Amino acid sequence: MRFLRIGPAGAERPALLLDADAQVAHDLSALTPDIDGAFLASLTPERRAELAARAASGELPQLPLPGARVGAPVARPGKVVCIGLNYRDHAEETGAAIPAEPVVFMKASDTVVGPYDEVLIPRGSVKTDWEVELAIVIGARARYLASPADADSVIAGYSISNDVSEREWQLERGGTWDKGKSCETFNPLGPWLVTADEVPDPQSLGLRLRVNGEVRQNGSTANMIFDVRHVIWYLSQFMVLEPGDIVNTGTPAGVAMGTPGQPWLQPGDVMELEIDGLGAQKLPVGKA
């Protein structure tokens, strides 16, 4: 099952997509105000089955997809928590040591934009970079989970995330990473939230990113240092994860920072991202 939000920024309508190739989505506005934490907390298997049946019956209004703006699939996430250096090849390309524990940082929640929206290079930026990542969407409160096996019970689903980063501000300007991670538009998300039951093995997904048609990243979640379950368990020891929170799980090798010549993003570039089974993003790059 795939959830998405369709319409102008700030006025998106919650919707359900029964088939990844469908040209119409099913409007959920009469059933929920939005795809948000409250909705995700209510998303039991029985609720999913009910929604699928109502959509298949033709009861729900249809929203045409061609030409429509698709927003981020989760409205107003409370937190965007990120794991850094979580792929061995990415740590190696940046010259960083393999971490003994997950590297945790935060992004401002208002960095989250739609999967086809413009990504803005900040004023004064000289080193804006890309990162294709598997995003975990939280569906139930996670507080002091007893073991990584308990993580499955709190995951609503998965999406594609682009952890856009300004490397000079992240690494060369002092302080924490957050200042190079929290610029406006720096977390495109979507196009869909794919429920966890449709992603039986989140550790076997291919991730790819192209810039202007050239493949820059081509990796697999199988190469994570800390897997999805471990990440959620680990975070729950340090903070409470709530329904609607987003967890970015790290990126494979191929970022601009680790590429010869360091081809930082420029206005006019186009980023294309995809993860197996989770759809694709296409993001024009502009300037703030």
My answer on whether 65 and 203 are in the same domain is no
My answer on whether 276 and 179 are in the same domain is yes
My answer on whether 40 and 145 are in the same domain is no
H or E stretch at 52: helix 45-56
* Confidence class for position 94, pLDDT limits 50, 70, 90: confident
- Asked if 46 and 1 touch (Cβ cutoff 8 Å), the reply is no
Number of folded domains in the chain?
2
- Asked if 185 and 113 touch (Cβ cutoff 8 Å), the reply is yes
**What end-to-end distance do the CA atoms of the chain give, in Å?**
36
My answer on whether 165 and 127 are in the same domain is yes
- Asked if 140 and 153 touch (Cβ cutoff 8 Å), the reply is yes
Sign of the C-alpha dihedral, residues 118, 263, 206, 186?
Answer: negative
d(CA 180, CA 165): 6
Structure tokens given for 168: 């000079």
Choosing from 70, 90, 117, the residue where a domain stops is: 70
Q: What is the pLDDT of residues 38-62, one digit of tens each?
A: 999 999 999 999 999 999 999 999 9
Choosing from 70, 100, 119, the residue where a domain stops is: 70
Mapping DSSP to helix (H, G, I), strand (E, B) and coil, where does residue 90 land? Answer: helix
| Domain carrying residue 85 | 72-287
- Contacts of residue 173, defined as CB under 8 A and 6 or more positions apart, other chains included, come to 179, 180
My answer on whether 221 and 96 are in the same domain is yes
Q: What share of the chain is helix, strand, coil (3-state, %, to 5)?
A: 20, 35, 45
d(CA 133, CA 127): 19
My answer on whether 54 and 82 are in the same domain is no
Q: What is the pLDDT of residues 223-233, one digit of tens each?
A: 999 999 999 99
* CB neighbour burial string for 143-157, b if at least 16 within 10 angstroms, e if fewer: eebeebeebeebbbb
Q: What average pLDDT does range 74-100 have in this prediction?
A: 93
CATH code (residue 246): 3.90.850.10
CA separation (Å) from 288 to 9, 70, 272? Answer: 17, 21, 20
Choosing from 70, 102, 128, the residue where a domain stops is: 70
d(CA 109, CA 37): 13
Q: What is the pLDDT of residues 255-288, one digit of tens each?
A: 999 999 999 999 999 999 999 999 999 999 999 9
Is the pTM of the predicted complex or chain greater than 0.95?
yes
Pairing between strand 246-248 and 132-138? antiparallel
